[in-house]
């Protein structure tokens, strides 16, 4: 059969209807076909393996090289590429060595944002318009963590600004909370094309970013929005419907803990409005926790 332009237009229409709105390469790739697992070899952050700090000029200026006894290994996270003139912020970026994840040497939120915007270990960044870093008040006691940006968030570079974000604002308003009293981010900072769920390898690569983000913000409580955030950060086998509304603990790399409450993702309750009452209940639990401290 010889395809006509009309046939191609129909195929494109069909792709759009299915949610395919970004081309990653000229050749189609079937994401359902098993691919070889990605080998992760991030250097663990232990005191023994602590990198040697060569010079510290300002708190933002860190030069880091691995200890001589530690040969660097090729990791999923290649070194952060040199800053382009247009993107470089007014600070010197951390120097990342092969084998390190770009997140681990970031000492400030600006450095972390910069490391994420220049990350080279995850293809999602190639198709994304923006790295969606965070919104709200980094001094806030409450840090909310969602899954990944959608189309509106990718376009505007801010988390939870689309329909699910508006619903989230409404939910928070019921307990007198707005964006000035929360800080909000996502497990994945780049939109997965067509809003597909992030893959295990994408989550594994992005995990050190959100772990460092939490360490730098030091909130009093984490609100984990949906199953991906819960599974990634709490590492519990139980599903979100079982865990929601409970005040649990998130353990940081240094062993200290932060309270963490899972709740349903706003997108989920948009699809299943009968579950709304559960989120309202969780908000009352949060309100009680905040007033009981
Ligand atoms: N859903 C998310 O999990 N995060 C966003 O930022 C938007 C929608």
107-161 pLDDT tens trace: 999 999 999 999 999 999 999 999 999 999 999 999 999 999 999 999 999 999 9
pLDDT, average across residues 251-264: 97
Q: Scanning the structure block, which residue is given the tokens 């060595």?
A: 97
Tell me whether strands 135-136 and 52-56 are parallel, antiparallel or unpaired. unpaired
> pLDDT tens-digit profile of 12-30?
666 665 555 566 555 555 5
Is residue 127 in some structural domain? Answer: yes
Q: How confident is the model at residue 83 (pLDDT cuts 50, 70, 90)?
A: very low
pLDDT, average across residues 267-281: 97
Supply the pLDDT for residue 186.
98
Q: Which of 15-29, 93-107, 260-274 has the lowest mean pLDDT?
A: 15-29
Q: With 50 as the cut, is the pLDDT of residue 69 above it?
A: no
Q: With 70 as the cut, is the pLDDT of residue 189 above it?
A: yes
Ligand 1 pocket, mutate which of 131, 145, 149 (most atoms under 8 A from CB): 149
Q: Into how many domains does the chain fold?
A: 1
Distance CA 243, CA 142 (A): 19
Is residue 86 in some structural domain? Answer: no
pLDDT, average across residues 215-220: 98
Measured from the Cα of 225, ligand 1's closest atom is: 3
* Of 283 and 71, more confident: 283
For residue 97, report the distance from its CA to the centre of ligand 1, in Å: 31
Residue 184 structural domain: 101-291
Supply the pLDDT for residue 20.
59
Is residue 109 in some structural domain? Answer: yes
Supply the pLDDT for residue 4.
75
- 227 and 203 Cβ atoms separated by less than 8 Å: no
Supply the pLDDT for residue 156.
98
Q: With 70 as the cut, is the pLDDT of residue 92 above it?
A: no
Q: With 60 as the cut, is the pLDDT of residue 48 above it?
A: no
pLDDT, average across residues 212-236: 97
Q: With 80 as the cut, is the pLDDT of residue 170 above it?
A: yes
Q: How confident is the model at residue 101 (pLDDT cuts 50, 70, 90)?
A: very high
For residue 64, report the distance from its CA to the centre of ligand 1, in Å: 34
Is residue 76 in some structural domain? Answer: no
Is residue 176 in some structural domain? Answer: yes
Measured from the Cα of 266, ligand 1's closest atom is: 1
Is residue 61 in some structural domain? Answer: no
Is residue 91 in some structural domain? Answer: no
Measured from the Cα of 159, ligand 1's closest atom is: 6
What's the whole-number average pLDDT of the chain?
Answer: 80
- What percentage of residues in the chain have a pLDDT greater than 90? 65
Question: Over the range 153-171, which residues count as b (16 or more CB within 10 Å of their CB) and which as e?
Answer: bbebebbbbbebbebbbeb
CB atoms within 10 A of CB 78: 14
> pLDDT tens-digit profile of 236-251?
889 999 999 999 999 9
| Ligand 1 interacting residues, C-beta cut-off 6 A | 146-150, 153, 159-160, 164-165, 186, 267
pLDDT, average across residues 259-287: 97
Q: How confident is the model at residue 84 (pLDDT cuts 50, 70, 90)?
A: very low
Is residue 147 in some structural domain? Answer: yes
Q: How many residues does the chain have?
A: 293
For residue 65, report the distance from its CA to the centre of ligand 1, in Å: 36
For residue 131, report the distance from its CA to the centre of ligand 1, in Å: 13
Q: How confident is the model at residue 65 (pLDDT cuts 50, 70, 90)?
A: very low
Which CATH number belongs to the domain containing residue 172 in this structure? 3.40.470.10
Q: With 50 as the cut, is the pLDDT of residue 55 above it?
A: no
């Amino acid at each position: 059969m010889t395809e006509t332009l009309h046939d191609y237009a129909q195929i494109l229409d069909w792709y759009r209807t299915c949610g395919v709105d970004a081309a990653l390469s000229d050749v189609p790739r079937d994401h359902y076909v098993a691919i070889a697992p990605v080998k992760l070899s991030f250097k663990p952050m232990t005191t023994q393996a602590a990198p040697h700090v060569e010079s510290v000029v300002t708190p933002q200026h860190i030069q880091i090289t691995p200890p001589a006894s530690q040969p660097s290994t090729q990791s999923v996270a290649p070194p952060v590429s040199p800053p382009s003139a247009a993107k470089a912020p007014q600070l010197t970026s951390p120097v990342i060595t092969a084998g390190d994840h770009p997140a681990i040497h970031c000492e400030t939120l600006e450095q972390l944002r910069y490391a994420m915007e220049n990350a080279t270990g995850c293809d999602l960044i190639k198709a994304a318009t923006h790295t969606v870093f965070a919104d709200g008040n980094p001094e806030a006691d409450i840090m909310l963590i969602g899954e990944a940006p959608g189309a509106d968030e990718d376009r505007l570079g801010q988390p939870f600004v689309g329909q699910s974000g508006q619903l989230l604002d409404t939910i928070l308003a019921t307990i007198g909370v707005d964006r000035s009293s929360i800080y909000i981010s996502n497990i994945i900072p780049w939109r997965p094309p067509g809003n597909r769920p992030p893959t295990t390898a994408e989550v594994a690569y992005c995990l050190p970013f959100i772990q460092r983000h939490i360490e730098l913000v030091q909130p009093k409580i984490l609100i984990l929005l949906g199953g991906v955030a819960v599974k990634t950060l709490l590492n519990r086998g139980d599903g979100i419907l079982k865990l929601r509304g409970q005040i649990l603990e998130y353990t940081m790399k240094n062993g200290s803990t932060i309270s963490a409450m899972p709740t349903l993702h706003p997108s989920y309750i948009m699809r299943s409005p009968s579950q709304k009452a559960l989120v309202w209940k969780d908000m009352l639990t949060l309100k009680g926790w905040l007033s009981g401290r």
